[in-house]
Each structure stands twice: as structure tokens, then as C-alpha cells.
Amino acid sequence: MPKPDPRRVALVLVDHGSRDADANAVVDSAARELARQGGDRFVAVQAAHMELASPSVDEAFESAVAAGAEVVVVVLFFLGPGRHSTRDIPALAARAAARHPGLRVVISKPLGEDLRLVDLALVRAEEELSRASIACRRKRRRGS
């Protein structure tokens, strides 16, 4: 496939979705940051939820097409492969794309397959150890 014109490519970052608004805000925030960092590399960057919350995959595709997308890259905001990332979301994306003849869809691997997450895991562990150490020192100073 020839490299598409970036002014015609949209990213749709898809997670599972939740009834908890704070959980859904994580993918919304990530999509905003992708849009900020992507600059003019993409015609649109959208968050979407597989189920339980809006915007849905259908809604995100509609928004991407309205922005001028001819190609939608679905970025799976999942740690590992499973039924949702290998079957459910590809099926939802195919149904959404079928409403727009000529729209091409590319689906990423889940984020967790990228070993750069190991570095992030180490950072998180160090942060928590640091917090635990600070909390222990505070308790000792208070005489607890």
C-alpha cells in the first residue's frame, strides 16, 4: 500500500470503555496528547470506546470521515492480544468503514506488545518505591 497523504489519515485510539468516567478519561487524554504531538500529521485524532461509553467506534469513524479521512488507523489502547483486539474491534472497524466506500482501515497491534513499556514499568516502580520511602520517613518522624 503506498504511503497515504497524512492530510487524509485519521487516528482512532480505541480502548474497552467503562461505566467509570475517570477510566474513559485516560484514552481521551491520550488522544488529545497524540493530536498535540502529531501536529498536522493527521487530519483527526479521535478517542473511542469499544463499548459502555461514547464516543463509540462508529462515532469516531464518522468524525474522522467528516474531517476528511480516507485512511483510519485504529490504535489499540490495550496491553495484550485478546478477543477484543483480535476480533471485536476489527469487526466494529470493518462495519464502520463499510458505510464509507473507499475508506481504508489499518489496525495496530496492542500497545503492550511494545517492549518500551518495560521502561515505563520501571519508572512506575521507582516512583512508588520513592513514595513508600517518603511515607515511611514521615511516619518515623511523627513517632508512629
- pLDDT for 74-89, tens place per residue? 999 999 899 999 999 9
Q: Which three cell numbers stand for residue 122?
A: 520501571
Sign of CA pseudo-dihedral 69, 73, 77, 78: positive
107 within some domain: yes
What total of structural domains would you count in the chain? Answer: 2
Are both 79 and 104 inside the same structural domain?
yes
Are both 20 and 83 inside the same structural domain?
yes
Are both 25 and 51 inside the same structural domain?
yes
Query: How much of the chain, in percent, has pLDDT values that exceed 90?
Result: 72
Q: Which domain holds residue 99?
A: 6-113
Q: What is the pLDDT of residues 60-115, one digit of tens each?
A: 999 999 999 999 999 999 998 999 999 999 999 999 999 999 999 999 999 988 88
Q: Which three cell numbers stand for residue 69?
A: 479521512
Are both 105 and 127 inside the same structural domain?
no
Are both 32 and 76 inside the same structural domain?
yes
Assess whether pLDDT exceeds 70 at residue 4.
Answer: no
Are both 103 and 67 inside the same structural domain?
yes
Q: Give me the CATH number covering residue 53.
A: 3.40.50.1400
Are both 123 and 85 inside the same structural domain?
no
Going from the C-alpha of 21 to that of each of 18, 24, 25, 63, 101, the distances in angstroms are 7, 5, 6, 21, 34
Are both 15 and 64 inside the same structural domain?
yes
Are both 107 and 126 inside the same structural domain?
no
Asked if residues 16 and 78 have their Cβ atoms less than 8 Å apart, the reply is yes
With CA atoms as reference, report the closest residue to 49 among 83, 71, 73, 78. Answer: 78
Bond from prior residue into 4 cis (ω within 30 degrees of 0): no
Burial of 18 (0-12, 13-18, 19+ CB in 10 A): middle
Are both 106 and 136 inside the same structural domain?
no
1 within some domain: no
Are both 48 and 97 inside the same structural domain?
yes
